[in-house]
Each structure stands twice: as C-alpha cells, then as structure tokens.
Amino acid sequence: MTDDIRLCRTFQTAPAAVPKDDSAKYLVSGLEAEGFQAPDWLVPDLEDGTAPDMKAEGLENTIEKVPEYEFPGEIWPRVEWSYEDASFREKGREQIDRLVADLGDDIEGVVVPKVGRLADVERAAEAVAEAEREHGYADGSIGLSIIVETGRARSDLREIAKFGADSRLTALVFGPVDYAAELGGRDLGDGMPRWEGLLEALSNEASAAGLLAIGGPFDDLFTERAGLTYYNAEEYADQIEYEARIGLDGSWSLYPKQTIQANTVHMPTPEELERDVSKIERFNAAKREGTGAVTLDGQMVDEATFKNFKNTVEQVRAIDATRPEQTADYYDEDLLERALELELSYR
Amino acid sequence: MTDDIRLCRTFQTAPAAVPKDDSAKYLVSGLEAEGFQAPDWLVPDLEDGTAPDMKAEGLENTIEKVPEYEFPGEIWPRVEWSYEDASFREKGREQIDRLVADLGDDIEGVVVPKVGRLADVERAAEAVAEAEREHGYADGSIGLSIIVETGRARSDLREIAKFGADSRLTALVFGPVDYAAELGGRDLGDGMPRWEGLLEALSNEASAAGLLAIGGPFDDLFTERAGLTYYNAEEYADQIEYEARIGLDGSWSLYPKQTIQANTVHMPTPEELERDVSKIERFNAAKREGTGAVTLDGQMVDEATFKNFKNTVEQVRAIDATRPEQTADYYDEDLLERALELELSYR
Amino acid sequence: MTDDIRLCRTFQTAPAAVPKDDSAKYLVSGLEAEGFQAPDWLVPDLEDGTAPDMKAEGLENTIEKVPEYEFPGEIWPRVEWSYEDASFREKGREQIDRLVADLGDDIEGVVVPKVGRLADVERAAEAVAEAEREHGYADGSIGLSIIVETGRARSDLREIAKFGADSRLTALVFGPVDYAAELGGRDLGDGMPRWEGLLEALSNEASAAGLLAIGGPFDDLFTERAGLTYYNAEEYADQIEYEARIGLDGSWSLYPKQTIQANTVHMPTPEELERDVSKIERFNAAKREGTGAVTLDGQMVDEATFKNFKNTVEQVRAIDATRPEQTADYYDEDLLERALELELSYR
C-alpha cells in the first residue's frame, strides 16, 4: 500500500454487450448498483465476456452508457490484446483509441489482458500513450492495468512491476483460467491449483512498486446440495479471504453478490477500525501531554507502527468519500465520525 | 505447452551398468519395455545410478545396446557434470563426445546434472555443440536437458529458461535429493519438503520458454504395512498427480510400475478426451452451418479455448504415434478413431 | 551450507536498554546465558526493541557490557535504518560508527533492518566500510547482516544475495511483522500468512550465495488454556521445525526458552550424528581396505553424499568449539568423541 490510498476492493467485470433485448443490461446494472453491490472499479468487458460478433455493439454500449451515470467509483474498460497475436493487438489499439476519443473524461484507464513479457506491456502502455496524444489528453492521464495470465508475464512480473513504478501502470490483476491453460495445469477432480507462489509474488511486486494487486475471478457462482441450487458464498469467501490475508488489495467480482463479499472483506472490520482509531486518539493525547516516546498497550509507537493505524483510517475515509452508504451501513455512527475527524499526523 | 507436441510423460532413468552378470540388465529392460511400462524418454544413467568403477562399462553398454532396439520413444543418456568440480565436467565432456560420436543418430540429446548458474548451463550447451561439430552433426541436432538441483540453478532458473528458448535446451528436470542437501533441508520425521515454490516456477518458466518441465524421482519404491511389503503406488501417485495439476509435462520414473503410473497420469483421461473431441466436433458442425461466434455449453469458443481442446487431441495423437498400444488400451476404439480423424483448425 | 561452517542456530535479540532500574538487564542476561539458553548470535537491539528515548543509553550499555563478558558466540548489534527515511539512515550511520570505534574488536558485525532494493543494501554496506576505514579496521572485518522485511528487499532478494556472495554480507534474516504491514497482509482470525514463497527463496538464495538464512521472530510467547497461562512451546516449535525442514540455518529467538528450542532444532539429532559418524567410519575402513567405489547400506558414496555426512560432523564440531556444554549435554560421550576424532577426507 502506498500513502495515496487508491481503492480497488472490487474489480467487477460486466459484459459490454450480451445477446438480450437490452444488450447493455449487465453494464447498466453495474453502473446503477447501490450499497454494497456497488464495486470500486467497474470493468466494461470487451474481451472474453463479450461475443466476437457483439464487440462493436459492446464498444458503443460502453461509450453511450457510461456518461449517463455518475458512477462514483472508477471505470476501466477491458479491451482485446494478445502477446502472441498481432490481430488482437490491432483490435485492442482501435478500442483504446475509440475509448480515449469518446470517453477519455469518464474512464480512469483501460485493462489489457494476455500481455507477455515486459516488452509487450511497454507496447500496451505505448498504445495508451498514442491515444492520449492523438486526442489531446495529458501524458499519464489514462491509466493501464494488466491481467497477469501468461507464463511470460509471470516470468517478467518483477520487471513489469518495476517499470510500473514510474509509469501509467496501476493494477496487476491475476487471470487464472488462461494461466492454467498456458502452463497445462489440470483439474484431476479436486479443482485447479491456487498458484500460491504467483499470488505471493503479485502481492510483493505490487507493493514494492506502489501498484494495486487484484485476485482472479471465481466462476462457480452456484452450487447444489440436497436438491437445492444456491449462491456459492462459502467458496468465494474462502478465496477472497485468502487474497486479503496475503495482502492483495482487492478481488475480482463477476456478480453483485460477489461484489458485496469482496467489498466487505477488503475493508477494515469495525473491530480493526475501533482499535486503530482508539490507538491514534490515545497517541494524540499522549503527544499533547509530554515529550518522548509514546507507549500504547505496552508497545512503543514508532513511525512505522503509526502508519499502519493511519492506513486503516485513510482507507475508511477513501471508501466514505466514494461510497458513504457503505461506511454508514458497516460502522457505528459514532465510530465513523471519530475516524473522519481524527488528526492523523505522527509528528 | 507449445504447439509442437513433444512428449515426455515419463523420464525413466536406468543404470547403464550394474554389478550383475548382465551389467546392462536394467538398460535393456527399459529398451524392451512394452505397453504402459514403456517410457517416453529412456535415460541411460552414467551419473549417480552407475558406480564409479562401472562408468566405462556403462558407456559401452549404452553404445552397444541402444542401436539394437527400435525404441519408439527418445533416448537421453545422463552424463556426469558438476558446476563446482572441473573434473566431473571433464568426464562429462568425454562422455558427451563419445555418445555423439558413436550414438549421434540414436539419441535425441544428453541430460546434464548438477548445473549451476546460467554460465554453467551455457558451458554444458557448448560441450554439446563441440561434439556436434567434431562429429559432423548439424548445429542443434543433439539436445540438452538439465537437472535443476542446485541453489544456483534455481536462482537463475528464469535466465536459464530464457536462454533455453533459443537453444538446444529441451527439458528442465527437478532433482530434489541434491537440492535438499545443498540447501540443508532436513527430514524431521515427516519427510522432505516438496519445494512447491520451485515446482511452480519450473512449470512457469518452462512454459514461458517453450520447454518441458519434469518432476523429480521418488525413491520410496516399497512400503510395509501389517507385515507385508508392497509397491508404494499411493505415495508416488500423490506426487505425480500434484505435478500434473501444476502443469508439469511429465514425471521421473525409477521403476516399471512408476512408468505405468506416470504415463497414465500425464495423458488425457478418456473423459477429457471425449469432452474435447465432442467440443471440437460440435464446433466444426456449428462453423459449417453459419457465421459468427460459436457457443458451446453456454460458453463462447474463442481461439484460446479452442487451443485447449486441440491440445488434448494433439497429445493423444502424439502418444498414438509412438505408443499405439497405450492409446488402444486406454481409450475406447471409437473415441480414439474420432480423435485421430478430427479436423483441428479454428478458422 | 558452505564448507566453512558458520553457526547461527539462534539469532537472539535483546533490548539494549529497557525502562527498569537496571536498563541493561536483558542484554546482560543474554551475555550471561549458559547451557542451551546461550545463543549462537546475541543481537543487542538498538532498533525496535529499544524505546526512542533510550537509544542513547542502549548504545552505551552495549559498549560497556559486551566487553565485560567472554561471550563465546558472536555479537551483532542491530542499528536503526530505513530505505525510505534518510533520518533513520543517519542515526544508523552514527550507531555503526560508534560501535566500530568502541567495540570493533568485540563484534562480528552489525544487523541492518528495513533495507530496500539492492542499492540500499549497498549503501548500508558502504556505511560499514566507512566506519572500518575511519577506525583502522581491515576491509571486510566487520560483517553486515540484513533483515528482509520490505517488498523491495524481497523483490531484489536474488540480486542482494548475489552481491552478498562477494561482500561482507553474512546473514539474510526474515522480518515478518514489517513485511506483512508493507504488503497489507491481514490476520482474519487464523493468524498471519507464513510467506512460504519468501522463505523458500530465502533458503535458496542464501545457499546459492554462501550466506546464512534465518527465520523471523515469533512473539506469542505465552498461551492460555483452561485458566493457565504458560510458555507457548508448541507453536514456536512448529515454526522453527518448518524453518529447519526447508534449510534455514537458524531461527530468531526473543526469549531464553526459545533459544533452548532453536539451538536444539538446528543441531543434528543424536540419531543423525550416529548415522553419519558411522557412515564415515565405515567409509574410512573400506577406503583403507581397497580401491574403487565404496558402497554403504546399498548406496554408493560419491563426493556429494560424503559431503552431507561430513557437514553433520563439522556442524557438531563447530558447536562443540563454542558451546561444549551443549554438545556434552546432548550427545552420548562416546559418540561425541568419535565425531571429534574422525578423519574427514574423501580422497
């Protein structure tokens, strides 16, 4: 985590066009979502989520619908791309150009999938830079996030993240389906591997370069037991709690109920907030009273420790700024007020 | 996996000479193996599997016996080497020279153990290149596979694999015994660590560079329970199923029964084959009928998805080409015929 | 492990000053520890273990107390540092200068925490080099060990270790608390992650560069059950046994009882010593009798295998040289004598 809190508890993809009467149905439903169903990032998906013969319509849907809503989070369309197929990169370039031209003020950036080694990520970054120049946007105003889903991107992850520290790169997102297919991973009856080495590296490299790290999609949306089919809340929670434990900043959501869960898991619990607000309050009081080191609950508060308390509070403030209905719902009114009014300076 | 299917479900080492009346007993038995006991790669072992005072005899056995059999798989003798001991490298160079001179048409390459950092792997590759030149073989006609079993080789794994993408390097094979000794790993009663981080990296780097990744040997061949000693099928299966799940292409075998198991685990199951053959058949039918995107079982078939189905079929074809008795035994006759006759083009 | 056995089974930190009548209480108690409570490395802690307003006193305590004792292990004070805060680096430089000036003959080196990428580690190494020059010590006579506890240090671990192979760098020590905070790792009720990928890499890179690898602190010193609060021996043992299995050379201790456990886990068990002493004895006997390969228990003894047996014996000799009361207590007298008198040459 960096000092500037950038929220992406939820990376929710929505097909930009589906073969229904209202082809923008899912896109609109993401834009209109309220309460805990509202994601931090909404990703209109022009890649695998939209059929090849509907991609043009998906692009028009995105350009038409996004400006109609005052979406409080960030909008990050996913375009087509492939490190191994120039025709997909050409489509991606056209989509990026069109999105920046017609939607440059409404999107924070674009999501580029199936990138390969560092050189391919630089190529994607250059495609965004070209669109910026072409349509008069300042350098760096349109962000880039990538899906890490090839052996090459995993192999170059450290170099890609280091490049990202000084670039428009914003988030590293895991893509397990393509990744498993590339490596030849197999489900022998107990599911696919979790790729724990990759996830730990994703968390580390993102952290070292000041980027966001986001987990991959979970598509067993429903499960069946004793004759009943129901939403698979448990397994998704297992996955995203694992992601939170190892320090990923957010999780991928395919579905409003997943968004509720990911938003919740990736925000401080009321207990965490109470604990850290109270520590800062006591720290501030001790600071006013005297000089020298402040000790809380038997532990000295140094700058690093203080930063952790502060992080909790700043994340809640960031959520409150974009999604006040979520913080109002989740935290006690008094606690929230204390968190919003606290003095946050160590010195 | 690359588009050119290169099979190595089984990397079976056989001592090139043993202190028995027939010193080539195990080598010959590998060359003669039939059915599921026949490995994809047979590795006449001149290194740890053969006693120091029998190495010369092992080399003669290899040179004499290999050409006597029409072994349908690949022959990859393992020579001596050591990143930290020039005398072993000198022996390795002599063995490579002799093997290329007298057996260059019969072997696909040599296996070099105990390599260190990238520079040492390049040195091994140069030793093979010298033998090629010396004996009139085309550049790159003799392959190189390495055992990853030192801290240095693990540390340089990414660089070694990248070098391998444009070289004679063919397979990265794990060597857990020397590796554990180098790192000082200890068995405190519940066995040695599995080195999951290394194996995940091996699968990834091999995939990113188009190389094969092969697991390490399992030498608790027999187990004992309730007074009976019997073949330890269960624990070996656990290991190789783990290897298959994370995308290793094959497993190391020390014993015919292990070869049966590894051959089986690393080939598509009849259910996988039926599923993917049927998907391609329906894809082909839909393609003939109309234009636009093809949807199967509610999922769109893009080129990446198609490649996965195709991979399954191509692997079965490759097995069928070298080991028709295995495919005949494992798959229903009708299913196999469908797999062999299928049109495999996406466009 | 390298050929020169360097012991650090226990990396025991002790606050250099605490707010008690005798502010050097814990430091002195580390210096005076006997038997299995005596650590291999004693680390007078001027960083997080000592309050900001007591750091000056901690430095004086260290300079005054260390020379008063004939501590048989190594003394490695931990100074302040931070890759992201120049003021901490300045304090660190002053502490290093003072320690080398007044205690240069009594310490083996200094421990530098919160290092970032390779360039920051080189900066820390240069700070030690400056102090050496300033106070007339030979280049390299004062060592450097680092705490790996930032995303940047983990990201550069391989490069840092490679640099360390030719430098004063001695040990890579894991720091899980700061590391988890940097990555944003969270305890959702079942504890913090173990960071297995990092630990495996730490063991590998240290081994590849001939450095020591040491695990992180465990601070749940006490646990409570059925109304009784008692020392948490079990969980600490779980952690350090895991560390020993994957080849870490030693563990961090915060407490005399932890030192007993870490010293014990990281020394060969009597069974291991008996096994390897006996193998070398039989190897030596066979060598005297004849020529050619020596086979023990059905396995050939090559130089690599021999090195493993030898390692066990050399480690016991190293412990015996500094902590004879530990070896006397742990091993049968006769076995120990055999270990000390054995001829250890392969050729």
- Tens-digit pLDDT profile for residues B127-156: 999 999 999 999 999 999 999 999 999 999
Per-residue model confidence as pLDDT tens digits over C96-128: 999 999 999 999 999 999 999 999 999 999 999
Q: CB neighbours (10 Å) of residue A9?
A: 27
Contacts 24+ apart (CB under 8 A), B233-240: B233/B257, B233/B261, B236/B261, B237/B261, B237/B265, B239/B215, B240/B215, B240/B265, B240/B266
Chain B: give the shortest CA distance to residue C289, in Å: 16
Of A158, A200, A302, the CB nearest to C195: A200
Q: What's the rounded mean pLDDT across residues A236-260?
A: 97
Q: What pLDDT digit, counting tens, does each position of A287-296 carry?
A: 888 656 677 7
Q: Find all residues with CB under 8 Å of B73, minimum gap 6, and list them.
A: B7, B38, B39, B40, B41, B42, B322, B323
For residue B267, the distance in angstroms to the closest alpha carbon of chain A comes to 11
The answer to whether C245 contacts B51, with C-beta atoms less than 8 Å apart, is no
Task: Return d(Cα B225, Cα A272) in angstroms, integer.
Answer: 51
pLDDT at A292: 60
Q: In Å, how far from its chain's centre is CA C314?
A: 17
Buried residues in B316-337 as b, exposed as e (16+ CB within 10 A): bbbbbeebeebbeebbeeebbe
- C186 contacts in A (CB within 8 Å)? 244-245, 247
CB contact under 8 A, C245 and B185: yes
CB contact (8 A) between residue B300 and residue A51: yes
Q: Compute the average pLDDT of residues A212-231.
A: 93
Q: Is B151–C204 a contact, with Cβ atoms under 8 angstroms apart?
A: yes
C251 phi, psi to nearest 5 deg: -130, 160
**Residue whose entry in the numeric block shows the structure tokens 């499960």:** A223
What's the mean pLDDT in B163-192?
93
Strand B41-45 versus strand B74-75 pairing type: parallel
CATH number of A10-265: 3.20.20.60
Chain B: give the shortest CA distance to residue A191, in Å: 9
Q: What is the pLDDT of residue C298?
A: 66
CA-to-CA separations, C181 to A198, A262, A318, C105, in angstroms, rounded? 19, 20, 19, 37
Interface of A with C (CB under 8 A): 1, 158, 161-162, 196-197, 200-201, 203-205, 207-209, 241, 244-249, 265, 292-293, 295, 300, 302-304, 307-308, 311
Query: Rounded distance, CA A336 to CA A343, Å?
Result: 14
Query: What span, in angstroms and rounded, lies between the C-alpha atoms of A151 and A120?
Result: 13
Asked if residues C79 and C110 have their Cβ atoms less than 8 Å apart, the reply is yes
Q: Which of B123, B127, B173 is nearest to B146 (CA)?
A: B173
Say what the pLDDT of residue C3 is. Answer: 47
Contact C247 B186 (CB under 8 A): yes
Q: What percent of chain C lies above the pLDDT cut of 90?
A: 84
A150/chain B closest Cα distance in angstroms: 8
The letter for the amino acid at C331 is: Y
Percent of chain A with pLDDT over 70: 97
Prediction ipTM score = 0.93
At residue C1, the pLDDT reads: 34
CA C79 to CA C96: how far, in whole Å? 7
pLDDT-based confidence at residue B1 (cuts at 50, 70, 90): very low
Which residue did the predictor score with more confidence, A331 or A219?
A331
For a pLDDT cut of 70, what percent of chain C falls above it? 97
Beta carbons within 8 Å of B338's beta carbon, 6+ residues apart: B277, B281
Which two tokens mark C257? 């009882």
Residue C217: which of C179, C272, C182 has the closest Cα? Answer: C179
What is the band of C2 on the pLDDT scale with cuts at 50, 70, 90?
A: very low
When pLDDT is averaged across residues B301-311 and rounded to a whole number, the result is 81
Asked if B337 contacts B272 with a C-beta cutoff of 8 angstroms, the reply is no
Q: Kindly report the nearest CA distance between residue C218 and chain A, in angstroms.
A: 16
Contacts of C55 in chain A (CB under 8 A): none
The pLDDT tens digits for C118-159 are: 999 999 999 999 999 999 999 999 999 999 999 999 999 999
pLDDT at residue B2, as a whole number: 36
pLDDT tens profile B11-56: 999 999 999 899 999 999 999 999 999 999 999 999 988 988 899 9
Whether residues A184 and B158 touch (CB distance < 8 A) is answered with no
* Averaged pLDDT, C186-203: 93
C-beta atoms of A247 and C186 within 8 A? yes
Residue B248 · residue B199 · CB < 8 Å: yes
pLDDT for residue B161 = 98
3-state SS assignment for residue B26:
helix
The DSSP element (H or E) to which B144 belongs, if any, is strand B143-148
| Binary contact (C245, B188; C-beta < 8 A) | yes
Q: Considering only CB atoms, which residues of chain C are within 8 Å of chain B?
A: 1, 158, 161-162, 196-197, 200-201, 203-205, 207-208, 241, 244-247, 249, 265, 292-293, 295, 300, 302-304, 307-308, 311
Longest dimension (CA), chain B: 70
Alpha helices (H) along B225-302: 233-245, 256-265, 270-289
For A292, phi then psi, to 5°, come to 85, -170
Vertex B203 angle, CA B198 and B206, to 5°: 115
Q: Where are the domains of chain A?
A: 10-265, 270-341
Report how far residue C37's alpha carbon sits from residue C225's, in angstroms, rounded to the nearest whole number. 26
The fraction of chain B above a pLDDT of 70, given in percent, is 97
The predicted pLDDT at position A127 comes to: 98
C296-328, pLDDT tens digit by residue?
Answer: 776 667 777 788 889 899 999 999 999 999 999
pLDDT category at B291 given cuts 50, 70, 90 is low
pLDDT band at A286 (very low <50, low <70, confident <90, very high): confident
Contact B245 A193 (CB under 8 A): yes
- Give me the count of residues in chain A: 347
3-state secondary structure of A17: coil
Question: In chain A, which residue's Cα lies nearest the Cα of C154?
Answer: A204
Q: Which residue of B has its CA nearest to A151?
A: B208
Residues in B closer than 8 angstroms to C205, CB to CB, are: 151, 155
Contact A198/B207, CB-based, under 8 Å?
no
Distance CA A331, CA A195 (A): 34
Average pLDDT, rounded, for chain B: 94
**How confident is the prediction for chain A on average, in pLDDT?**
94
A191 Rama sector, left if φ>0, alpha if ψ -120 to 50, beta otherwise: left
Residue type at position A333: E
Give the model's confidence band at B308: pLDDT under 50 very low, under 70 low, under 90 confident, else very high: confident
Q: Give the pLDDT score at A1.
A: 34
Among the partner-chain residues C52, C54, C151, the one whose CB lies closest to the CB of A204 is: C151
pLDDT in tens, B90-126: 999 999 999 999 999 999 999 999 999 999 999 999 9
Q: Which chain B residue is nearest to residue A185, measuring alpha carbons?
A: B247
pLDDT band at B62 (very low <50, low <70, confident <90, very high): very high
Minimum-distance CB partner of B186 among C244, C292, C300:
C244
Token output for A268: 């401080």
Give me Rg for the CA atoms of chain A: 21
pLDDT digits (tens, 9 = 90+) for C40-64: 999 999 998 898 889 999 999 999 9
Given an 8 Å threshold on Cβ–Cβ distance, is A181 in contact with B308?
yes
Q: Nearest CA to CA, how far is A317 from chain B (Å)?
A: 37
H helix intervals, C232-331: 233-245, 256-265, 270-289, 303-322, 324-330
What does the mean pLDDT of chain C come to? 94
Nearest CB to B183: which of C162, C203, C302? C203
Tokens at A318, concatenated: 């960031």
Q: What's the pLDDT at B191?
A: 84
Above 80 in pLDDT, residue C290?
no
> Which residue type, as a one-letter code, is found at position B8?
C
Distance between A267 CA and the closest CA of chain B, angstroms: 30
Neighbours of chain C (3+ CB pairs under 8 A): A, B
* Spatial distance between the Cα atoms of B65 and B61, rounded to a whole number of angstroms: 6
Query: In angstroms, how far is CA C19 from the centroid of its own chain?
Result: 27
What was the pLDDT predicted at A123? 98
